[in-house]
Amino acid sequence: MSYTSFKNIAIGIAFSPTLEANVSEAARVSCMFGAKLSLIHVGPRSDEKISIIDQYIGNCGQSQLSYEIIFTEGDPVGVILETVKEHKIDLLLLGALKQEKFVKFYLGSIARKLTRKATCSVLMMTNPSVIRKPCKHMVVNGLKDAHTEHTIETAFYVAHSLGSNQLTIVEEIEQEKVSIKIDDDQSLRKANLLKEKLKRQEELRVQGILSHIPSDEKKDIQVSTQPIFGQRGYSIGHYAQIVRADLLVMNAPKKSSFLDRFFPHDLEHILNELPTDVLIVR
Amino acid sequence: MTKKKTDIKGFFKALPKNIFSGFVVSLIALPLGLGLAMASEVPPIAGVIAAVVGGVLVSILGGSNVTISGPGNGLVGVILVAVATLGLNGTYAAIICSGILLTILGFLRMGKLADFFPSSAIQGMLAAIGLIILGKQFHIMMGNEMKLPGSIDYLLAIPSTIVGVFSYSHSGFTYAAISGVIALAIMVFYPKIRNKYFHLVPAPMWIVLISIGVSYFYELVLQQPHPVDPRYMISNIPTGGQIVSDIPTPNFNLVNSIGFWGSVLAITLIASIESLLSIKAVDQLDPEKRRSNVNRDLKALGLATIGSGFLGGLNVVTVIARSSVNVNNGGSNRSSNFAHATFLVIFILLFSTQLTRIPLPALMAILVYTGYKLASPSNVVKIFKIGKEQLIIFFTTLLVTLFVGLISGILAGVLMTFVIHVILNKDLELFIKNWRKPNVLMFKEKKGDQHYYINVKHFCTFLNFYRLKEKLNAIPETEDVVVDLSLCEFVDHTVMENLSAYQDVFHKRGGHLEIIGLDLHGTDSEHPFALRRLIPGIPFLTGNLTKRQTTLKEIAQGYSLEYEVDVKGNTEVLDKFRYFKTKKIEKIYNRLFNEDDSFSVFDIHYSEGEFIAKEDVRTTMLHIKLEHAIPEFTLDREGFMERLYAIAGYEDIPIDNHSDFTKRFYLLGKNPYRVQEYFNDDLVKFFECNSYYHVESDGVSLLIFRTQRTSGVKEIKKLIDFGNRLRKVVVKEVQVAY
């Protein structure tokens, strides 16, 4: 198997009103993966803070959880990234902010930077809550990319750990691949034939990846695929929102440059409007 | 290759009809061409040249099928301005340049340009053009030609001209006015006269024929000079030879001035909008329902305009009125356009001198009538019905166009529309943040009936309709499409109107396009195209039924059910179902039910979880009350575990001798033995050979549903049918068992 199991999980915490929800969710996720939880706080150490966290973790009833609170100081992004390296963290948890008026989520600036620069996988949580919400349906990207196989395998591992039973692999096919411009009935027919062909190719590729995965891993999970023609990164988020997926699993982005923030692509779209919880696999 | 051969065969078979249709069109094109050219203050023959060049080039190079090209009425206003500022030969240069721009637009595939203008702004612009034409030509029609500085002044002078008619000192002017009024009367009453033979000749041609007839009557019978003042007769129609020798030289000296390019831009803008709108409209008239290649047409129109400009003709655009006459007379391919050009050449070669016998006011009456139709008050009433805000947009565009100019007018209309959208939503961010996002998702549903499913996020207005349009264009019109707007906070009138046009196209070609997710959006007017906005906090607005709701009403009548839009508060009947154990029912609406309420279909909005983990679901369900008790069970397609997790702890109940059924379906129940007993051969077979639904029994009633989104009308019909048949099987079952 080529996936890395999550043995060390970390979450950056601030003493905000969402602290209890964040800590409970992190504790729960760590227990499901059977991992050790590191709570990173950028700020001075105090016994009061420790006792609050101890109390929250005690409240959520994950007695077998082993955890550690790390106090550091400095620029949050840099410090957290360093701690991640130092403690060999496999998965970093981030809480998203919620826009008032409508149910929309977005990432704060620190979380964004962390997502781009982190060296481990990142899980962005839109709905950290004190009470558990089951994770039933996962959507995974099936991009034509060397990294995809790794991502899909990790997705199966995560599905087992979180007890999901439905997994949809979305093959995003870029509109530019359909080289025929639709002008009239004839070109429409041709374009649709080409689309069907592209879909079949994508399907074959994904089935190829799936065949590498041991049947043990696939047991009890309903796997389906859905080809979509649309903009990379954006349409998969839109799809996850429509099917009300509980977790979206994505490849880690290639190095993002300064320009990407002005011309968003792939991951940047997802960071702008989180459709659901997002796991970025590295 | 065989296909090609039959095409040629079909072409020759349809040729006679197309030639005839082209002939009828040329009868309208001749007077209109002359009139439009004179209204634009260029030599009358310029309009005919445009029609001939357009007819020949566009029919050979174009990408549409039944359109007719020629001089367009929308351009009168801009050409007038161009002639005034650039002079005649400068105008020809501007026309040539606009032809080049049009061709470039075609190559850049900018056929979607027209989509960026809000419907009401385009309506306002067309009305303004109508008023410009009407205002100017009305005075000529009344024998009172005048020169005034602005187009608005001509309109204001209309009353004084009407009063002045009765006090002309010179009888020549009075006769001119009489000829104009008679011609206008012909235009107005022509559609009202129901006579087959009378309608063989189109109204404008009647005016031409009667005018020439009267002229000969005076000359030959009464042996008197024509009573209309010679200044009000059409002059200088050149003969064929003269046209060639008189070809003007376009004057490109002004190419460096801003005014020149302003005119070029205005001409190009109007020419492209008029053409694109016409092509779109004519495509809907096409009996064979072909799709026009818009970009190819643009290129052809551009080339034709360049040619026409060099020969001393007007812009070539696609024209809706002449095209619809073409379709009505049996035109089926581009040869009718070619034929119309050929007949125009023949007319000019043979009868050019006869045309000077037509009084100018009679010809201008045709234009006054066209102008009136563009600016008709009934249009204003229509727009008002859609919503008050549309009227503001309409009048902003109209007034700015009249007082300032065309480009400023349309820009003001666009700006006003945007401002109104922002004010209505009290949210500028919604538009700015989401404008560039590719907010339309389309995919073919892999489950069920393989519908195309389109979902639009954030907002959908004229600003980003082109994205939705692109996706819709990529779907063959014979397919079933569901457009889900439930994630849209705001949908504007332009989109509603265009979607409705798409619905017609899909319907005509055997497909089906359904709009869902708008039932919870609020509107201020009762018009189906009114803009719709998701209003958080306000529970429910029932002022205006969506198209889906009206269709539901019809379905209800079809199945002799009652229909109720309003929210039903009492949802206790559903609480007993296991499915709702972990869910909270928010509301039930759009209910279809029978007399004793034992059979009801409804949209339901429920939520799972609380507060921040809350998830809202809207779907459509069928509830059937039974007279007998049956075992409690839950049946679903194997693998759709997500819906069943709440009942974890129960095992899939195997049914003996039906391994296929057991494999395909997931069956759960409190009492496995009773369920096994209950699922006999008939029931198993019924489920096996019908489409998959989630079926659940709470002991005394059944709950049936499928997708976790609101169903389209077609899907509801299927659901009702499934429910009716299932009820029959279940009732039979009970009779056998007990």
Q: Which residues contact B567 (CB under 8 A, 6 or more apart)?
A: B539, B540, B587, B588, B589
Residues of A in contact with B474 (CB under 8 A): 182, 188, 191-192, 229
Q: At B63, which helix (H) or strand (E)?
A: none
Residue for token digits 């979450």? Answer: A11
A103/B179 Cα distance (integer angstroms): 68
- pLDDT (0 to 100) of residue B614: 52
B217/B455 Cα distance (integer angstroms): 68
What's the pLDDT band for B3 if we cut at 50, 70, 90?
A: very low
pLDDT digits (tens, 9 = 90+) for B628-663: 888 888 887 765 544 444 445 566 777 777 777 777
- Max mean pLDDT among B173-182, B303-312, B621-630 falls in B303-312
Q: String of b and e for B595-630 (b: at least 16 CB within 10 Å)?
A: eeeebbbbbbbbebbeebbeeeebbbbbbbebeeeb
B231/B361 Cα distance (integer angstroms): 11
- pLDDT (0 to 100) of residue B277: 80
The type of residue at B499 is L
Helix, strand, coil: what percent of chain B each, to 5?
60, 15, 30
Nearest chain B CA: its distance from A199 CA (Å): 11
Beta strands in B486-595 (DSSP E): 488-491, 512-516, 521-522, 532-534, 562-564, 583-593
**Chain A touched by B651 (CB under 8 Å):** no
- pLDDT (0 to 100) of residue B50: 92
Closest partner residue to B613 among A129, A181, A242, by Cβ? A129
Closest partner residue to A184 among B109, B291, B709, by Cβ? B291
Residues of B in contact with A100 (CB under 8 A): none
H helix intervals, B559-671:
572-575, 659-664
Closest partner residue to A182 among B290, B474, B536, by Cβ? B474
Q: Does the beta-carbon distance from B536 to A222 stay under 8 Å?
A: no
Q: Does the beta-carbon distance from B438 to A231 stay under 8 Å?
A: yes
Selected for mutation to probe chain B from A168, A169, A171, A183 (highest B CB count within 10 Å) is A183
Least confident of B118-132, B257-271, B273-287: B273-287
Selected for mutation to probe chain B from A170, A172, A184 (highest B CB count within 10 Å) is A184
Q: Does the beta-carbon distance from A235 to B642 stay under 8 Å?
A: no
Closest partner residue to A183 among B63, B639, B708, by Cβ? B63
B172/B357 Cα distance (integer angstroms): 15
Nearest CA in chain B to A173: B443
Beta bridge partner(s), residue B608? B583, B615
Selected for mutation to probe chain A from B65, B112, B471, B641 (highest A CB count within 10 Å) is B641
**CB distance B635 to B687 below 8 Å:** yes
Nearest to A194 by CA among A171, A172, A176: A176
Nearest chain B CA: its distance from A87 CA (Å): 31
Nearest CA in chain B to A243: B708
Least confident of A245-259, B112-126, B411-425: A245-259
B211/B190 Cα distance (integer angstroms): 16
pLDDT digits (tens, 9 = 90+) for B234-276: 776 777 677 777 778 888 887 788 888 888 988 998 888 888 8
Q: Does the beta-carbon distance from A242 to B446 stay under 8 Å?
A: no
Q: Does the beta-carbon distance from A166 to B641 stay under 8 Å?
A: yes
Selected for mutation to probe chain B from A242, A269, A274 (highest B CB count within 10 Å) is A242
Selected for mutation to probe chain A from B280, B441, B467, B533 (highest A CB count within 10 Å) is B441
B48/B349 Cα distance (integer angstroms): 12
Nearest to B693 by CA among B617, B650, B634, B608: B634
Q: What is the mean pLDDT of residues B527-551?
A: 61
**Chain A touched by B613 (CB under 8 Å):** yes
Nearest chain B CA: its distance from A71 CA (Å): 29
Q: String of b and e for B165-196 (b: at least 16 CB within 10 Å)?
A: beebeeebbbbbbbbbbbbbebbeebeeeeee
| A112 CB neighbour count, 10 Å cutoff | 18
Q: What is the DSSP string of B573-604?
A: HHHTSGGGTTEEEEEEEEEEE-TTSSEEEEEE
pLDDT digits (tens, 9 = 90+) for B484-493: 888 888 888 8
**CB distance B664 to B613 below 8 Å:** no
For this complex, say whether ipTM is above 0.90: no
What's the pLDDT band for B554 if we cut at 50, 70, 90?
A: confident
Length of chain A: 282
B500/B485 Cα distance (integer angstroms): 14
Chain A interface residues facing chain B, Cβ-Cβ under 8 Å?
21, 98, 101-102, 127-129, 131, 133-134, 136-137, 165-166, 181-185, 187-189, 191-192, 222, 224-231, 234-235, 238-239, 241-244, 269, 272
Nearest chain A CA: its distance from B610 CA (Å): 9
**Chain A touched by B609 (CB under 8 Å):** yes
Nearest chain B CA: its distance from A223 CA (Å): 9
Closest partner residue to B437 among A127, A184, A234, by Cβ? A234
Q: Does the beta-carbon distance from A234 to B438 stay under 8 Å?
A: yes
| B469 CB neighbour count, 10 Å cutoff | 17
Nearest CA in chain A to B457: A238
| A110 CB neighbour count, 10 Å cutoff | 16
Q: At B177, which helix (H) or strand (E)?
A: helix B171-189
B640 or B665: which leads in pLDDT: B665
CA B474 to chain centre: 17
What's the pLDDT band for B95 if we cut at 50, 70, 90?
A: very high
Nearest chain A CA: its distance from B553 CA (Å): 28
Q: pTM of whole model > 0.80?
A: no
Residues of B in contact with A229 (CB under 8 A): 442-443, 474
Q: Does the beta-carbon distance from A235 to B441 stay under 8 Å?
A: yes
Question: Looking at the predicted structure, is the pLDDT value of residue B471 above 80?
Answer: yes
**CB distance B14 to B287 below 8 Å:** no
The type of residue at B421 is H
Question: Looking at the predicted structure, is the pLDDT value of residue B613 above 70?
Answer: no
- pLDDT (0 to 100) of residue B338: 92
B383/B395 Cα distance (integer angstroms): 11
- pLDDT (0 to 100) of residue A7: 83
pLDDT in tens, chain A (282 residues): 467 778 888 888 877 777 777 888 888 888 888 888 888 888 888 888 888 888 887 777 767 778 888 888 888 788 888 888 888 888 888 876 654 444 455 566 677 777 777 788 888 887 666 666 677 788 888 877 777 888 888 888 888 888 788 888 888 887 777 777 777 777 888 888 888 888 888 888 888 888 888 777 777 778 888 888 877 777 888 888 888 888 888 887 766 555 555 545 567 777 777 777 888 887
Nearest chain A CA: its distance from B684 CA (Å): 24
B29/B36 Cα distance (integer angstroms): 10
Q: Does the beta-carbon distance from B645 to A134 stay under 8 Å?
A: yes
A-B CB pairs within 8 A amount to 94
Residues of B in contact with A191 (CB under 8 A): 474
A83/A14 Cα distance (integer angstroms): 16
What's the pLDDT band for B322 if we cut at 50, 70, 90?
A: confident
B28/B205 Cα distance (integer angstroms): 6
Nearest CA in chain A to B440: A235
B719/B591 Cα distance (integer angstroms): 14
Question: Looking at the predicted structure, is the pLDDT value of residue B611 above 50?
Answer: no
Strands B452-456 and B480-484 come out as parallel
Question: Looking at the predicted structure, is the pLDDT value of residue B342 above 90?
Answer: yes
- pLDDT (0 to 100) of residue B1: 36
Order across the sheet with B480-484: list the strands: B440-444, B452-456, B480-484, B512-516
Nearest CA in chain A to B646: A134
